[in-house]
C-alpha cells in the first residue's frame, strides 16, 4: 500500500513497507532512486532500532543472544499508514511477536512526513512501553538518483556542507580516511565507495546538499538533530544511486546494544521525538 500527498510544488509517496519514501518530486521531477534489487532493492527505508550492523552478528541483552540484521527491523516491517492531514502521512509500528524475537522491547514507532513548501519534515517518535530502559537509534537511508539528470557525468556530482569542515570518514570494518579538510565540497565518484560506506559524525554543518556541477536540482538534508551521517553508493558505475543517511547512531562491535556509539537510552514509559528536513529546490530559483 502507498499513499501520496502533494502541495503546489512537491509530491511525496510513502509505502507501508518499511515506511519508506518511494517518490519525491519537485514540479514533476523525480529525486529518488527507483529500487533495483541488483544494487539496492529499497528507496528510503527507516533505520530502527539500529543503523548499520553488529560486527559479531549478534548482541546480548540480559544474558541472551539476539540476531538483528543490517539496519534493523523497521525496513522489513509493515507499518499502519494513513493520511493525518492533506499534507501529512503518518506511519505507525508497534512491537509484536516477530520484532520481539530480535529486539526484546515493547516499542512504539511513529514516522510522520509533513510537506511544508518545498520541504519534507520527517519526524520519528519512539515510545518505550517496556519496564526497563530501551536502547534505540533511528534514521533514514535515502537513496537519490545519481546522476539526477540522465546523461550527466556522475563524477560531476558532489556533497556540499553549510560550513567548512574537518572530517574523517569511517566504516564498521575499521577503515578511515579524510572526508573534508577545511572544505565545504566533497566530490563523489563510484571508486570513492570502493571501501564501502563512508560515515561521518559531529559535523558542524546544519545541512548537506547533494547536486551536480551542471545540475539545476538540489536535495538539501537538514540534519542537525542527527549527529551521524552515512554516505553510501555501489562502486559499480551501473548503479545509479547515492545515499545520504542521517541517523542518531552507527555500527558497533557490541556486545550489547547500549555499547553502540550514539545510542539513545529511553526510560520506561518515556518518549522522544527526533526530526530532520529534506528540502528540494532549483538553483535557478535562488
CA distance 52 to 181: 25
Task: Quote the pLDDT of residue 276.
Answer: 98
Task: Quote the pLDDT of residue 193.
Answer: 93
- Judged against a pLDDT cut of 90, whether residue 49 lies above it is answered with yes
Question: Which whole number is the average pLDDT over 117-141?
Answer: 97
- Residue 209's nearest CA partner among 194, 192, 188, 195 is 188
- Judged against a pLDDT cut of 90, whether residue 12 lies above it is answered with yes
- Judged against a pLDDT cut of 80, whether residue 251 lies above it is answered with no
Q: Please name the residues in contact with 139: beta carbons below 8 A apart, sequence gap of 6 or more.
A: 46, 47, 48, 51, 226, 228, 230, 245, 246, 247, 248, 249
Averaged confidence pLDDT in the chain: 95
CA distance 70 to 162: 30
Task: Quote the pLDDT of residue 162.
Answer: 97
Three-state DSSP class for 158? strand
The three-point CA angle 63-61-73 to 5° equals 140
List C-alpha distances in Å: 274 to 95, 224, 279, 282: 19, 10, 17, 27
Host domain of residue 257: 2-285
- Judged against a pLDDT cut of 90, whether residue 225 lies above it is answered with yes
Judged by average pLDDT, the poorest of 94-98, 99-103, 151-155, 253-257 is: 253-257
If phi > 0 it is left, if psi is from -120 to 50 it is alpha, else beta; for residue 262 that is left
Task: Quote the pLDDT of residue 24.
Answer: 98
- Judged against a pLDDT cut of 80, whether residue 137 lies above it is answered with yes
Task: Quote the pLDDT of residue 79.
Answer: 98
Three-state DSSP class for 203? coil
Locate all alpha helices (DSSP H) within the chain, ordered by sequence. 97-100
Residue-wise pLDDT tens digits, 70-81? 899 999 999 999
CATH number at residue 95: 2.70.98.10
Grid coordinates representing 33 are 532512486
Number of domains in the chain: 1
Residue-wise pLDDT tens digits, 260-274? 989 999 999 999 999
pTM, entire model: 0.95
Residue-wise pLDDT tens digits, 203-220? 999 999 999 999 999 999
Task: Quote the pLDDT of residue 250.
Answer: 86
- Judged against a pLDDT cut of 90, whether residue 171 lies above it is answered with no
The three-point CA angle 31-34-37 to 5° equals 145
List C-alpha distances in Å: 35 to 21, 114, 142, 231, 280: 11, 23, 11, 17, 20
Whether omega before 147 lies within 30 degrees of 0, making that bond cis, reads yes
Q: Which residue has the higher pLDDT, 260 or 119?
A: 119
Amino acid at each position: 500500500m502507498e499513499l501520496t500527498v502533494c502541495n503546489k510544488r512537491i509530491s511525496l509517496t510513502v509505502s507501508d513497507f518499511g515506511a519508506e519514501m518511494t517518490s519525491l518530486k519537485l514540479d514533476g521531477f523525480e529525486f529518488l532512486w527507483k529500487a533495483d534489487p541488483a544494487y539496492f532493492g529499497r528507496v528510503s527505508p527507516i533505520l530502527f532500532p539500529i543503523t548499520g550492523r553488529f560486527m559479531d552478528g549478534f548482541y546480548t541483552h540480559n544474558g541472551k543472544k539476539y540476531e538483528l540484521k543490517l539496519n534493523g527491523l523497521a525496513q522489513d516491517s509493515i507499518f499502519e499508514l494513513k493520511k493525518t492531514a492533506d499534507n501529512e502521512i503518518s506511519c505507525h509500528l508497534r512491537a509484536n511477536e516477530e520484532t520481539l524475537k530480535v529486539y526484546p522491547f515493547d516499542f512504539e514507532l511513529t514516522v510522520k512526513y509533513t510537506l511544508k513548501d518545498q520541504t519534507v519534515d520527517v519526524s520519528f517518535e519512539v515510545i518505550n512501553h517496556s519496564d526497563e530502559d530501551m536502547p534505540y537509534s533511528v534514521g533514514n537511508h535515502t537513496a537519490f538518483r545519481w546522476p539526477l539528470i540522465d546523461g550527466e557525468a556522475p563524477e560531476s556530482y558532489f556533497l556540499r556542507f553549510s560550513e567548512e569542515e574537518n572530517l574523517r570518514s569511517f566504516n564498521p570494518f575499521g577503515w578511515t580516511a579524510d572526508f573534508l579538510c577545511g572544505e565545504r565540497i566533497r566530490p563523489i565518484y563510484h571508486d570513492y565507495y570502493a571501501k564501502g560506506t563512508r560515515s561521518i559524525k559531529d559535523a558542524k554543518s546544519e545541512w548537506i546538499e547533494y547536486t551536480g556541477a551542471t545540475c539545476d536540482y538540489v536535495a538539501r538534508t537538514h540534519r542537525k538533530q542527527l549527529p551521524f551521517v552515512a554516505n553510501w553508493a555501489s562502486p559499480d558505475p551501473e548503479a545509479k544511486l547515492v545515499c545520504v543517511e542521517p541517523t542518531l547512531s552507527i555500527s558497533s562491535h557490541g556486545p550489547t546494544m547500549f555499547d553502540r556509539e550514539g545510542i539513545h537510552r529511553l526510560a520506561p514509559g518515556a518518549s522522544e521525538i527526533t526530526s530532520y528536513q529534506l528540502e528540494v529546490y532549483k538553483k535557478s530559483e535562488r
